[in-house]
Amino acid sequence: MNQLEQLKQFTTVVADTGDFQSIKAYAPQDATTNPSLILKAVQKPEYRPLLEKAIADNAGASTEEVIDRLLIAFGVEILKFVPGRVSTEIDAALSFDTEATVAKGRELIALYEAAGVPRERVLIKIASTWEGIRAAEILEQDGIRCNLTLLFSLCQAIACAEAGVQLISPFVGRIYDWYKKSTGTEYTGADDPGVQSVKRIYQYYRTFGYKTEVMGASFRNTSQILELAGCDLLTISPDLLQKLADADGAVERKLVADAAADIQKIAMDEKTFRFMLNEDAMATEKLAEGIRAFCADSAKLRKMIDEMR
């Protein structure tokens, strides 16, 4: 078996793309999207008709409503190629507005259900701010499953688990980027700070019996992926899926679901969350940077739609 086939024995493989053909090629269980991936996809000729149709079918709607329908159109198409779930992201501009995030999550699920997609096949992606986590807690109580993204620290992971969210997406590659830039060190294998972060979160969850799924995300190389073999899920870009499919070295399970006696439980409330996040310069900077980047790509998508109307 190649490395991708071996990895699937230990971990649920998810495609991190809005490209249907890539999803079809690698046969993942689930797929994830975000504003950047959707923006990238609609600039390709083969996906332009989805954008044109969303605009034409919603001529009297606001640009935001057109974007919502475009997101759903992509999600519906993606679900034709995966047996599991698709993650659809809420506008990052709502990252600090709990009520607006809840309202948008309900709107997106209603659109999916109107398109014949049951809510069990959708994960609503929300940034792992304190406000976003509170919104996810409310949505989960409504039976709307959530994927908490832009997650860079243990305090974010603990708050998500205690809120009962379905899944978290710790960003391995962006953690690696920050430490590489700040230290000038090329990290590899188990020494990679992004890998270590996910391992720490995974071990904490297993030690204290949290049911929230851990899905490593934002990879820079296959070494990071292979070091997390055994994680609940890993969402992987098409280029790295191809590299795994082309490689035939042995893949070993690196994460196991054992409790660790030396891990102390942290009582998490808003004050503790904000202080711990503030103390972590990498997490603070990367969370803010990620929100800004997603907002920028959403703005580009809005501009593209406005120019086509």
**pLDDT tops 90 at residue 62:** yes
Helices (H) and strands (E) in the chain, counts: 14, 8
Counting Cβ atoms within 10 Å, is residue 247 exposed (0-12), middle (13-18) or buried (19+)? middle
**Can you give the pLDDT at residue 83?**
97
Domain edges within the chain = 3-308
**Count of CB atoms within 10 A of residue 151's CB?**
31
**Can you give the pLDDT at residue 163?**
98
Q: What is the mean pLDDT of residues 170-181?
A: 98
pLDDT tens digits, 229-280:
999 999 999 999 999 999 999 999 999 988 777 899 999 999 999 999 999 9
> Secondary structure of the chain: what % helix, strand, coil (to 5)?
55, 10, 30
Given pLDDT bands bounded at 50, 70 and 90, which one contains residue 147? very high
**Can you give the pLDDT at residue 180?**
98
**Can you give the pLDDT at residue 35?**
86
**Can you give the pLDDT at residue 259?**
74
The first and second tokens of residue 290, run together, are: 């990620």
Tallying the residues shown for the chain, one arrives at 309
CATH homologous superfamily for 3-308?
Aldolase class I (3.20.20.70)
Q: What is the mean pLDDT of residues 168-177?
A: 98
- Which range (100-104, 164-168, 257-261, 284-288) has the least confidence? 257-261
Give the span between the Cα atoms of 233 and 212, in whole angstroms: 11
Q: What is the mean pLDDT of residues 93-104?
A: 98
Q: What is the mean pLDDT of residues 5-13?
A: 97
The first and second tokens of residue 29, run together, are: 């269980």
Residue 128: what are its φ and ψ, rounded to 5°?
-85, 50
Q: Indicate if 243 belongs to the active site.
A: no
Instruction: Report the candidate in 35, 30, 16, 25 with the shortest Cα–Cα distance to residue 237.
Output: 16
**146 pairs with which residues across the strands?**
124
* pTM reported for the whole predicted model: 0.96
Candidates 8, 104, 125, 286; catalytic one: 125
The first and second tokens of residue 158, run together, are: 């603990």
Q: pLDDT > 90: what percent of the chain?
A: 97
**Can you give the pLDDT at residue 241?**
98
Enumerate residues 6+ apart whose C-beta is below 8 A from 4: 13, 26, 241, 244, 245
Give the span between the Cα atoms of 276 and 268, in whole angstroms: 10
Give the span between the Cα atoms of 124 and 219, in whole angstroms: 21
Whether 66 and 58 have beta carbons less than 8 Å apart is answered as yes
